[in-house]
Amino acid sequence: MPIYKKNYLLVSKIYPHLMRKINYKYWSDYLVMLSENYVTNKSNVLELGAGNCLLAFYLKDNFKNIIATDLSFSMLNSSKDKKVKKVCSNMTSLPFKYSFDLVISCFDSINYLIKKNDLLKLFTSIHNLLSDTGIFTFDVSLENNSKIHIKVPIREGKFKEITYKHLSSYDEINRIHKNTFEIKLKNKNVYKEVHKQKIYPFFDYFRLLQKCGLYVLECFDAFTFNDATENSNRVQFIVKKIK
Ligand SMILES: C[S@@+](CC[C@H](N)C(=O)[O-])C[C@H]1O[C@@H](n2cnc3c(N)ncnc32)[C@H](O)[C@@H]1O
């Protein structure tokens, strides 16, 4: 079975189906609430790992100057929203020359940075791009979430004549969560994409952010305003530049 090295080349075709239970409007409202003290509707907003722009679709109602970015051209290109500006770029080497008041990254996109050095590159770029009053808010998946997901290690489905098998596993020693997608296209060819995500310990984020001149203003249990702990499933950071 051929393995596609480029993540999301084929998964982009089934992504709306994989995310069918996610309420992006609710998610967008949460992010608007988190950021309302720091931004206006004229602020420059940047989304990293925006995927097929389902979140940006709603966020643009509040932030008209939003730019959605993602490493995968297939993901960005599968967005039907022609109003959101899109830039295909790696979040570790962002190509912008002006500052942003709000930078967002959602749904574990940052967990795709497997190497600590890439996380440092991202946080350094954020330090360079964030305005002095701006915030960077991002979520990350923690170990508990991986342990919950591997309870159902195989999921299968069909979407627009594409059938898929999704296998989920977690390597506790190396803290790598692996999602393998076996995708059978309409022409019966079968391909595989292997997505690896690093499940960093909770406190590593605090240390690495500080190393890059950033500090954690708040860290919530995702979708709530309750303080996160290392036992949370997914956590939502709100970060600012150290003055
Ligand atoms: C789980 S999807 C989340 C997409 C979107 N945020 C959402 O909520 O639906 C993870 C996304 O991160 C992107 N991604 C992974 N590594 C990246 C990187 N180094 N730079 C930018 N985007 C990246 C993937 O292409 C993918 O679209």
Ligand 1 binding pocket mutation candidate from 109, 140, 168 (most atoms within 8 A of CB)? 109
List the CATH code of the domain at 145-198.
Answer: 2.20.25
Cβ neighbors of 188 (< 8 A, separation 6 or more) are none
Q: Rounded to whole angstroms, how far apart are CA atoms 184 and 174?
A: 30
For the CA of 106, the nearest atom of ligand 1: 6
Q: Rounded to whole angstroms, how far apart are CA atoms 236 and 135?
A: 12
pTM over 0.85: yes
Indicate which residue's Cα is closest to atom 8 of ligand 1: 107
Domain boundaries, the chain: 19-141+201-241, 145-198
CA–centroid distance, residue 50 to ligand 1 (Å)? 6
Contact between 7 and 72 (Cβ < 8 Å): yes
For the CA of 15, the nearest atom of ligand 1: 9
**pLDDT tens by residue, the chain, 243 residues:** 676 678 899 999 999 999 999 999 999 999 999 999 999 888 999 999 999 999 999 999 999 999 999 999 999 999 989 999 999 999 999 999 999 999 999 999 999 999 999 999 999 999 999 999 999 999 999 999 999 988 888 999 999 999 999 999 999 999 999 999 999 998 888 999 999 999 999 999 999 999 999 999 999 999 999 999 999 999 999 999 998
Cβ neighbors of 207 (< 8 A, separation 6 or more) are none
Contact between 67 and 46 (Cβ < 8 Å): yes
Decide: 110 in ligand 1 pocket, CB within 6 A: no
Tell me the fold of 19-141+201-241: Rossmann fold (3.40.50)
AA identity, residue 72: S
